[in-house]
Amino acid sequence: MQPGCPTPEESPPNEADTANVRISLESFGDKDAPEPPQTASRTRRKPTVQPDKHFFGIKQDAPPPGFVFNDDYDTRFPDDPYCKETSAPNAKVWRVYVEEAAAFDANMIGRYRDGLDVMLVFAGLFSAVVTSFLVQASQNLQADYGEMTAMLLHDLVAIQLSLADGASVVNITSPSANPTGAFVANRIDVLVNGFWVVSLSASLAVALAAVLVKQWLHHYTSLLSGTSRHRSHVRHSRFTGLERWRVRVIIGTLPIIMHLSLMLFLSGLILFFVPLHVSLAWAVGVITVILCTLYFISNALPIFYPQCLAYCAEGR
């Protein structure tokens, strides 16, 4: 017998032996006897299909992009030769860094882009609303010659009626409107237009900044070629520039500017309705006070309740 070969006691039974044992057991009527050992071909089972994962009857969604399931890098990447753990262009440490950095950047850039997209949509709609109000309010900053013509006609009719009654020309008052005089706008109109112009300018500045930041993020996530060490160095250089130039601070400042723009618009809207209708001005004022109160409370809650989710951009 050759070394390494199984002994007769250890050799697996063949098909003929298994059939003979079964027949002999059936002939003696021993129904409680154990079944003969099965061969490897008889013990094969069909692979079972794993059912979809559900949570309380709800099918779970796919994991977000960039989520790494297999983080066993010792199995995925072989070890480097001795004294070449960092000097090799495709060393294990560089490949692990590229994998981890890709997952981290996918999560970070995804959050930034979602916030910027919402900011662009809101800034566009808000700018359109403010522009429509500003077009109407800006007419109060210049002389209304149509109203002045109506006043002059009224004065002319009053003079003719006075002359018809026999009044003296000396006793007739001068016209109330003077087209040649300098026009002085009302102070409330100046404040309303000032608030709305600043609000519109701020919203347009936010839209421009959001577009520029999206271009920066696109450059940050552009694909790289080369060895793992080269890609790691370039990615680290980009991330250092992202932190040095305070891109995260810029992105967090944009919502604050939009909130201030909205408050300025509501303040101008209150002043706009004061000379027109006091009740409407009070209604807009109450709504504005409620919104401002809720805004400041939502920013102050995380200070006292760390588990509160009412974080805005500056709280993150």
Q: pLDDT tens for residues 185-196?
A: 788 889 999 999
Q: Which has the minimum average pLDDT: 13-27, 148-162, 166-180, 187-201?
A: 13-27
User: What pLDDT is recorded for position 25?
Assistant: 40
Percent of the chain scoring above 90 in pLDDT: 36
Taking Cα atoms as reference points, which of 141, 138, 102 lies closest to residue 220? 102
Query: At 21, is the pLDDT very low, low, confident or very high (cuts 50, 70, 90)?
Result: very low
Which residue type occupies 132?
S
CA pseudo-torsion sign 252, 255, 258, 262: negative
Overall average pLDDT of the 136-145 stretch: 78
- Provide the pLDDT confidence category of residue 8 given band limits of 50, 70 and 90: very low
User: To the nearest whole percent, how much of the chain has pLDDT over 70?
Assistant: 62
Is the Cα torsion angle 67, 72, 73, 78 positive or negative in sign?
Answer: negative
* Residue owning tokens 């050759």: 2
Write the DSSP symbol of residue 305: -
Burial class for 166, CB neighbours closer than 10 Å (0-12, 13-18, 19+): exposed
In 85-120, which positions are buried (b, 16+ CB within 10 angstroms) versus exposed (e)? eeeeeebbbbbbbbbebbeebeebbeebbebbeebb
Q: In sequence order, which ranges of the chain are alpha helices (DSSP H)?
A: 15-28, 73-76, 92-137, 145-164, 187-220, 228-244, 247-273, 278-304
pLDDT digits (tens, 9 = 90+) for 269-304: 999 999 888 999 999 999 999 999 988 888 888 888
R_g of the chain, CA atoms, integer Å: 41
Higher-scoring residue by pLDDT: 50, 95:
95
Q: Does the pLDDT value for residue 253 go beyond 50?
A: yes
103, pLDDT greater than 50? yes
DSSP code per residue over 91-103: -HHHHHHHHHHHH
| pLDDT (0 to 100) of residue 29 | 45
